[in-house]
Structure 1
Amino acid sequence: YRIGQLYMISKHSHEQSDRGEGVEVVQNEPFDDPVHGNGQLTEKRVYLNSKLPSWARAVVPKIFYVTEKAWNYYPYTIT
């Protein structure tokens, strides 16, 4: 199940990528938490410029992204 959870998160990120935009993985490494145990720490930048309406693209910089940090501890995910 743990491998399946990581696979589905990766697949969703790939599906959201188009025209050179999408998801950039900044950090992806094993992590040990005293409460939840072993897990995976992932930091991603989700580029959203192509998802904005045209009027918003005119005022928002070309490099517009949201940073997401996620701690994946089977079977829990904290974002």
Structure 2
Amino acid sequence: SWTLLGPVTKWPNAGKDYPNEIAQVNSIVRRASADWRSLKIFSPNGSEMRSHLSPTGLLFLALSDEAVSFEDFSRVLKS
């Protein structure tokens, strides 16, 4: 499943790691540059995790590799 981590303003500084834990899933949000679209989510071992950054600046995380695509997930929300 997917979960909302928050708006991009929650992670304002480029080059800084922001640790998170939600539903016993640890992750690190990292902003590569001043551009908010550079946000990525990594596991504690450094591998990139599945995420989605909305056009309005909301960052979502897939809690498992078995999660449906974000497009399928958001389609359910719209119905």
Instruction: Name the structure with the higher helix share.
Output: 1
Specify if TM > 0.5: no
The alignment's TM-score, normalised by the length of structure 1, stands at 0.27
The alignment's TM-score, normalised by the length of structure 2, stands at 0.27
